A and B are shown apart, each in its own frame.
Chain A
Amino acid sequence: MSKKMHIQMTVNGEEQEFLAEPRELLIHTLRERLNITGPHIGCETSHCGACTVTINGKSVKSCTMFVAQANGAEVTTIEGLGNPDSLHVLQEAFKEHHGLQCGFCTPGMITRASKLLEENPTPSEEEVRFGMAGNICRCTGYQNIVKSILAAAEELNSAKEAAQ
Chain B
Amino acid sequence: MKDEVTREERVDALGGMGCKRKRVEDARFTQGKGNYVDDIKLPGMLFGDFVRSPYAHARIKSIDASAALALDGVIAVLTADDLRPLGLHWMPTLAGDKQMVLADGKVLFQGQEVAYVVAKDRYIAADAVELVEVEYEDLPVLVDPFEAMKSDVVLREDLVGEDGSLPDGAHGPRKHHNHIFTWEAGEKEATKQVIDNADVVATETMYYHRTHPCPLETCGCVASMDKVNGKLTLWGTFQAPHAIRTVVSLISGIEEHNIRVISPDIGGGFGNKVGAYPGYVCSVVASIVTGVPVKWVEDRMENLMTTAFARDYWMTGKISATKDGKITGLDCHVTADHGGFDACADPTKFPAGFMNICTGSYDIPTAYLAVDGVYTNKAPGGVSYRCSFRVTEAVYFIERMIEVLAIELDMDAAELRRINFIRKDQFPYKAALGWEYDSGDYHTAWDKALKAVDYDGLRAEQAQRVEDFKAGKTRKLMGIGLTHFTEIVGAGPVKNCDILGLGMFDSCEIRIHPTGSAIARLGTISQGQGHATTFAQILATEIGLPADSITIEEGDTDTAPYGLGTYGSRSTPVAGAATAMAGRKIRAKAQMIAAYLLEVHDDDVEFDVDRFVVKGAPEKFKTMKEIAFAAYNQAIPGIEPGLEAVSYYDPPNMTYPFGAYVCVMDIDVDTGEVDIRRFYALDDCGTRINPMIIEGQVHGGLTEALAVALGQEIAYDDMGNVKTGTLMDFFLPTAWEVPNYETDHTVTPSPHHPIGAKGVGESPHVGGVPCFSNAVNDAFRAFGLRHTHMPHDHWRIWKTANQLGLHG
Residues in chain A within 8 A of chain B (CB atoms):
1-2, 21, 23-24, 28, 31-32, 35-45, 47-48, 50, 77-79, 82-84, 87, 91, 94-96, 98, 100-107, 110, 128-130, 132-146
Chain B residue at minimum C-beta to C-beta distance from A140: B700
List 8 A-B pairs, minimum CB-CB distance, nearest first: A38-B32, A103-B29, A102-B528, A104-B267, A141-B699, A101-B528, A141-B703, A47-B727
In the complex, what residues of B have CB within 8 A of residue A40's CB? 36, 38, 216-217, 267
The answer to whether B702 has its CB under 8 Å from any CB of chain A is yes
Chain A proximity of B41: nearest CB distance (Å):
7
- Cα A31 to Cα B735 with chains together (Å): 27
User: When A and B form their complex, what is the total count of cross-chain residue pairs whose Cβ atoms lie within 8 Å?
Assistant: 182
- B233 on the A face (CB < 8 A): no
B270 beta carbon closer than 8 Å to chain A: yes
**Alpha-carbon distance between A83 and B30 when the two chains are bound, in angstroms:** 10
Asked whether A103 lies within 8 Å of B34 as measured between CB atoms, the reply is yes
Q: Chain B: interface residue count, which band?
A: 35 or more
Q: Is the CB of A47 within 8 A of B726?
A: yes
Contact indicator B692/A98 (Cβ below 8 Å): yes
Q: A136-B732, A144-B696 are in contact. List 6 more A-B contacts (CB 8 A).
A: A102-B265, A104-B217, A136-B734, A137-B735, A144-B699, A145-B735
Q: A38-B31, A45-B300, A106-B29 are in contact. Are A143 and B216 (CB under 8 A)?
A: no
Q: A106-B30, A141-B702 in contact; A133/B267 too (CB < 8 A)?
A: no
Given the complex of chains A and B, what is the CA–CA distance between A57 and B676 in angstroms?
Answer: 35
The chain B residue sitting closest to A37, CB to CB, is B39
A138 to B646, alpha carbons, bound, how many Å? 34
In the complex, the chain B residue whose C-beta lies closest to that of A91 is: B30
Q: What CA separation (Å) do A127 and B55 show in the bound complex?
A: 45
Chain B residue with Cβ nearest A128: B735
Q: Which residues of A contact B265 (CB under 8 A)?
A: 102-103
Closest chain B residue, CB of each to CB of A129 = B735
How far, in whole Å, are A37 and B34 apart by their CA atoms in the complex?
Answer: 8
Q: Assuming the A-B contacts A43-B300, A140-B700, are A132 and B216 also in contact, with contact meaning beta carbons closer than 8 angstroms in the complex? A: no
Instruction: Looking at the assembled complex, report how far the CB atom of B415 sits from the nearest CB atom of chain A, in whole angstroms.
Output: 31
Chain B minimum-CB-distance residue to A130: B736
B216 contacts A105, C-beta separation under 8 Å:
yes
Most B C-beta atoms less than 10 A away, residue of A45, A106, A132: A106
- Would you call B495 an interface residue if the criterion is a C-beta within 8 Å of the partner chain's C-beta atoms? no
B32 in contact with A107 (CB, 8 Å): yes
- The answer, among A31, A47, A78, A102, for a CB contact under 8 Å with B267, is A102
Closest to B71 in A: A1
Known: A95-B30, A107-B32, A133-B734. A45 touches B41 (CB 8 A): no
Cα separation A98 to B735 with both chains bound (whole Å): 16
Residues of B within 8 A of A78 (CB): 30-32
Chain A residue contacts of B460, Cβ below 8 A: none
CB distance B696 to A104 under 8 Å? no
Contact B31 A140 (CB under 8 A): no
Give the CA-CA distance A39 to B216 in the complex, in Å: 13
Chain A residues, Cβ within 8 Å of B740? 143
* Chain A residues near B39 (CB-CB < 8 A): 31, 37
Tell me if A102 and B215 are in contact (CB < 8 A). yes
Binds A, one of B19-27, B432-440, B544-552: B19-27
B30 contacts A96, CB within 8 Å? no
CA distance A40 to B38 in the complex (A): 9
Chain A residue nearest to B726 (CB atoms) is: A45
* Chain A nearest Cβ from B767, distance in angstroms: 14
Query: B224 within 8 Å of A by Cβ?
Result: no
Q: In the complex the two chains form, is A94's CB within 8 Å of B728's CB?
A: no
**Binary flags per residue of B117-138, CB closer than 8 Å to A gives 1, else 0:** 0000111000100000000000
